[in-house]
Each structure stands twice: as C-alpha cells, then as structure tokens.
Structure 1
C-alpha cells in the first residue's frame, strides 16, 4: 500500500506545477505570443481575414482559435530556440511540446484512448454474444460497467484531440467514473448475493462521485486533490480485487487468475506516469504510453468477466446459452 501512496504523491506533485513551466514562463515565448496575436488576431478566438486563410482545414474543423494557433506555433519557436542554445526541451503549461497531426493536439494519447474505447466495445459485444439471457447473474451490471468505460474513453479521446476547459472537465469527471465503477464492481462481486450491501455501496460511491464532479464543475479544479481522489479510489478497488482474486484462487476457483494479472499489470502500467521524457517521434510521451499500455489489458479483464459469469451460472444451476 505504501508504494501506491508514494506513487500518488509523486503524480500529484507533478500536476501541481501544471501551469508553471519553463517554456511558457520564458520571456521569448510570452513576447512571441503577444506579437502573434497583435498581427493575426482580433481577439483570442477570431483571426484577421488574412490570417484565417492561412489556417489548415483540420485545425479549423477542430475549432483552433487564433490565440490557440499563436500559442502552438510560439511553443515550437521557443522549443527550437532552447535546443539551439543547448538547453533541454522545455515544457509548456506542464506538458511537453507535441506535434499536432490533422489538427489533433495530442495524437498518440488520442489514438491510445480510442484503442481502449474500441476494445471495450468489442469485448462487451463478446459478452453479449455469449450471454443472451437476462437471467445471467450480474450480466446487466457488467453491461452498465462497459457503458461507463466507453463513455470515459470517448471523452479521453476528445480531450486529447482538443484540450479546452470543457473537454478537460469531461475527461476528469468521466475518468473518475471509470475508476469508481471498477471499485463498485469489486464491492458488488464480493458481496454477490447480498443486495443490501451492494445497494448501500452503490449509493455511497455515487454520492461521493457526484460531490467530486460538482466540485470540479464549480471551477475549483484542484489538480492535487483530483489526482489524490482518483488514485485513492483506484488503490482501494485494486486491493479489493486482488485480495478477493487470491482468496478465490486458493479456494479452487482458478478462473480468477486473470483478475490477479489484470490488477498487477494495471498497477505496473500506471507507473509509466512517473516517466518524464520529451515525446518520442514528437508524439509519444509517458501519458500516451500509459494509455497504450492499458489497451491490451481490456480483453484480459473481460475474459475474466466471461469466465466469472460462467462460474456464477454454474453455481446457480442455470444452463449457459
């Protein structure tokens, strides 16, 4: 547990400096943005007529405003200046400079998020194909779980495609919904057969989640607090899943080995957030690699779900379709 706490503290410390980085603090960058806006913008969003003609179609479709364009191009001018003088690649607002592709702000992270989304949709279809009757224990719950995950990865894809205050809020809120759903799944599965405990857990977790989302929506985005909440909920869920899986495996229910592997590998993948290096090929930063690493774990998780649904149906004496 102490290792998870240390990881949470380190990640929180990194997010605390999200809006105070070497690149955007440099006088060169600030002067560049100011000059660019003066020459090309009527305000932070609208271009002058001549500047509007220079914007590419993809960026226009993704609603890159004039100020956004100035900040993006000045980011690269500043980066080139730093490197030409022998300095390390600087960060801007807590992020490494990443090459925009077809208007997509963080193409690698957007691709990896989309890959996770596709895996969730595909594996949920596999569950639906194998269990068509509504009397399969917990089948409805797992479909709802899939819907939460698909929604979360959808907004992660949107956020990494185009970072705005709205898409940031939706990404944060929906990411926590997925982490909360995984914790809730552990509680529901462990207490299968005890509806009172399950419903009480649902009520408490949903209320806690809504309170946190309301806090974010009100504009009080505390990055340390938000990360601490996500990691705390994730650690509790992981500990519950791992402890239950080991116990069930020891009792002879060997299908839980997949959940054990998933929990351990998901924790290992999270450690990628600790790696801090300039993007490889201009797009693959540690965050993108973390999202990429979680994608192949999705089928592993759903294969456990399929095996566990079979196990539950066998225990309840129901024939599997």
Structure 2
C-alpha cells in the first residue's frame, strides 16, 4: 500500500510538469500554413465546412459518406504536400497536431489503427459473453464483485468503440471521446485492482480511490477543453497504468505464493502488456500504414483473452470461498 501512495504522489508532482501544446513542426511550418490558406480560399465557403460547387465534384464518395468537410480536405491535402517538401529537403516526416501523417483508405483516416482497435473490441466482447454466461448479473447479491467485472468490460468495449471511430474520423469530438474513454479503461484496471485488493474492506477502498478518481475527472475536463497535448495525455495514461500494474502485480504475486494455479496468467498478462507499451513509447512514423501506435493496438488485441481467463478463475475461487464460509456458518 505504501508503494501505491508513493505512485499517487508522483502523479501529483508530475501533473504540472508538462507544457500544454497542440502544435507540431508540420502544422507550424509556413509551407503548410500557406497551402492551407490558399486551399481554403479557393475551395471552401466562408465557414470552411462546405465546398464551392467545383471543389465538391472532386471529393470522392467515401469521403462524402464520412462527412469530410472542405477545411478537413484542405488540411489533409496540405499535410501531404508539406510532407513531400520536408522529405525532399531531407528533413524526414513531420508530425501534424501531435500525430504522424497517414494515407487514408476509403475515407478512413488511420485504417491500420482502426482495424487493430476493432480486434481489441472483438476480444473484449468475446470474453464478456463468457463472463456473462458463467457469472450473470443475477449473482450480484451473493458476489457483488461480479458487477465490477461486468462494468469494467462495458468500459473497455466502449473505449475500443470510440478508438475505432476516432481512428476512422479524427475530429474534436471523436478525439475527446477516444482520449477520455482510453483513460477510463486505464483507470478502470487500476480501480478494479484496488477493489480486488480491498475486497470487503470498503472504507480502505474509498480512501485509496478518492484522489485518483478526482484526477480522472480533472483530466477529462482538461480534454474537453479542446487543446490537447498528445505526449502529456499519453504520459498521464502511462503513469496511471504503471500504478495499476503495481497493484495487480502485488496481488497476483501474493496469490501465486499462496499456491493459486491461475495467478501466473495475470503475471503473464502484465509482462506482455508492459512489453507492448514499448511500441507506443517508440513513436516512429508509419511504415506500410502501420505506426507504433497502430502496432501497439495490434499487439494488445489477444491480451484480453489471457486477462479474463484469470478473472474467471479468480471469480470461481471467490465463489468457492463464499460457499465454504456459508457452510461454516451453518455448522
């Protein structure tokens, strides 16, 4: 528990250490800004949302269906014009608004990341069916912790839905939903760990969760403000994720030392998850449409199968404990 409090203090210290910025070298460059100004002036109406009649005829059907505005079309075209100029000058591939440039497919902005997000959604949905069959919500009265895992799975599936939507179409609202829901998934794992550690110790659980949940609300409000620093947001997710890993590592190691055969599954899950995070931290430009972020999503897609196998076995263990306790009280 001391390690947990130390980790929370680290978050408090680091909270104000990261500058808020949404610009990158690509969208700050005069090449991009001049191109964008000229493109919007020639092709868009005053609000930037609608096309002038001739420009509208040039937009393909898939982009029309996904509602790419005139301003967004200009940003996309000028992004690649700027990339070509940077590469011709030997300056590499620049970022735009904190992210790498991607070639869209059928109007989908980041096809590789969208596909990988769908795989993660499918894995969580598959395991939700298993948990729902073996531990339906009707068992909540006997085992309240069942509600935790039903709720956590809903949080995860919701997060992967918005991750898919965001990578298909990046705008202010989908960005906010993706970042907020991703943090809810990270925080959900941390909260689930605290609840499992403090099983039947409600007061201690509330004390441990009060500050982190307050930070979650504060960060969601920051995301809603619309000016998001990608690196800052990722760092916060990594910090909260690291604390969650510590909590689950301590719990599963204790279970392993007590001879519970299912505990290594959690240890494997944590090890593989931490190894996968390296891809997100590397942050290299796209290769054949796959950047570090998309590959990270791809590598995490099978991990829910391992994690929820542990959850199911742990629920069966708790169920056995409850039955033994009940039988003891009757004797």
Whether the aligned pair in 1 keeps the contact of 2:176 and 2:226 (CA below 8 Å) is no
Counterpart of 2:282?
275
Counterpart of 1:81?
85
Cα distance in 2 for residues equivalent to 1:95 and 1:39 = 27
Shift of 1:195: 2.9
Matches within 5 A, 1:230-249: 230-249=237-256
Counterpart of 1:39?
42
Matched, 1:173 2:177: no
Q: 1:147 to 1:41 in 2, by over 3 A?
A: same
Shift of 1:62: 1.6
Cα distance in 1 for residues equivalent to 2:235 and 2:286 = 25
User: How big is each residue's C-alpha offset from its partner over 1:113-156, in whole Å with a ceiling of 9 and x where there is no partner?
Assistant: 12111111111101112224513452111000101111111111
Whether the aligned pair in 2 keeps the contact of 1:16 and 1:224 (CA below 8 Å) is no
User: How big is each residue's C-alpha offset from its partner over 1:45-86, in whole Å with a ceiling of 9 and x where there is no partner?
Assistant: 110011111111221122211111111112222323333454
Cα distance in 1 for residues equivalent to 2:218 and 2:284 = 35
User: How big is each residue's C-alpha offset from its partner over 1:261-290, in whole Å with a ceiling of 9 and x where there is no partner?
Assistant: 111111111111222332111x20001111
Q: Secondary structure at the match of 1:284?
A: coil
Shift of 1:291: 1.1
Match of 1:90 among 94, 100, 113: 94
Q: Secondary structure at the match of 1:163?
A: coil
Counterpart of 1:291?
297
Cα distance in 1 for residues equivalent to 2:284 and 2:212 = 36
RMSD, matched Cα: 2.5
Whether the aligned pair in 2 keeps the contact of 1:242 and 1:260 (CA below 8 Å) is yes
Cα distance in 2 for residues equivalent to 1:54 and 1:233 = 46
Counterpart of 1:311?
317
Counterpart of 2:233?
226
Whether the aligned pair in 1 keeps the contact of 2:102 and 2:110 (CA below 8 Å) is yes
Shift of 1:315: 1.7
Counterpart of 1:261?
268
Match of 2:107 among 103, 109, 117: 103
Structure 2, unaligned runs of 5 or more: 4-9, 325-331
